[in-house]
Structure 1
Amino acid sequence: MEIKRIARHLLMTRWTVSAAFPPRTLHAIEKAIRASHRDHIGQVRFAVEGALQIDALLSNTSARERAIDVFSQLRVWDTEHNNGVLIYLLLADRDVEIVADRGVHARVRAAEWETICQSMEVNFRLGRYEVGVLEGVEQVSELLKRHFPAQQERQSELPSKPAVL
């Protein structure tokens, strides 16, 4: 267990999350996700979590493990074509994880997701949260357009609104 990581998580406040993701940024992300849903039949969700709960932190839960939990909690897996994608940010670690349902996972290589995550993390290290998320949503959407193109206009199965945990 790394003491610096524990300190970052314990010092993370709701205010810090709100400063990084003010209402106008959350609205811009929601708008981008909603627009992306017109271009493909994939389902994109974005979730940001300030820090891990103390029990998860002490058990050394990774951002990836937590992202899988959030994928389940937000029911991103519950789509008709198994094409849900969660973009998860653990703000205290500035770690981005992308979790894709089995329909998408079968078509998109892990290296493609990792490239998107790294690009977003570069922006986050520079304090450019809105830019990082919007670029990430765009890149995920490009992959979904390639593998799950829009067939007709239809309702999104998942909310476009970002989840702030």
Structure 2
Amino acid sequence: MKPTHPLKRWLKHAWSHPRHVNALFSHQALGHIEQAIAQSERHHAGEIRVVIESGLPAYAILRGLKPRQRAINLFGHFNIWDTEHNNGVLIYLLLADHDVEIVADRGIHRHVGDAGWQQICQQMEGMFRSGQFEAGVVHGIQAIGEQLAAHFPPEAVPRNELSNRVLIL
């Protein structure tokens, strides 16, 4: 994320509304994203969760909360860290800041590392810049799924520890 003057950032977030999410992600697009998560999870024992937030509340902006910090908070809040094999992954989109963050639990992070996650984020951001929001998220899910499949093959008895539903905040 490029540095933004605090007042300008506050205004962007103040004008953000969950309706902005609906403008970029139709009901059908959200369904496709959820299907992509389910499809991906058939090929590995990991868990993927997508959270899309239009903007942060004023108090968070005034405290200087960065998208990465927010993503880490949500990772804990939604118990994405609480998978049996420590292989939960969060894709977090903060629309007002035009930011994508991936937070991964230690089980998968030790295999992929910061550089691997950053590469996936950059690919997604490139697709978003060209207006391909649904395709960008699906690409991210597929790329994360490839990493999870390489290090956490599917189990004999599949489980779904986290909901595949996209969370809109």
TM-score scaled by length of structure 2: 0.94
- The within-5 A match list for 1:64-79 is 64-79=68-83
Matched, 1:96 2:89: no
Is the contact made by 2:18 and 2:168 (CA closer than 8 Å) also made in structure 1? no
CA RMSD of aligned residues (A): 1.1
Instruction: Find the partner of 1:133 among 131, 137, 141.
Output: 137
Is the contact made by 1:38 and 1:153 (CA closer than 8 Å) also made in structure 2? no
Match of 1:43 in 2: 47
Instruction: Find the partner of 2:87 among 83, 88, 91.
Output: 83
Q: Which runs of 5+ in 2 are unaligned?
A: none
Is the contact made by 2:13 and 2:55 (CA closer than 8 Å) also made in structure 1? yes
Runs of 4+ in 1 over 6 A off after TM superposition: none
Is the contact made by 2:92 and 2:102 (CA closer than 8 Å) also made in structure 1? yes
Q: Which runs of 5+ in 1 are unaligned?
A: none
Rounded Cα–Cα distance in structure 2 between residues aligned with 1:128 and 1:16: 15
Identity of aligned residues (%): 45
TM-score scaled by length of structure 1: 0.96
Matched, 1:23 2:10: no
Is the contact made by 1:30 and 1:160 (CA closer than 8 Å) also made in structure 2? yes
Match of 2:62 in 1: 58
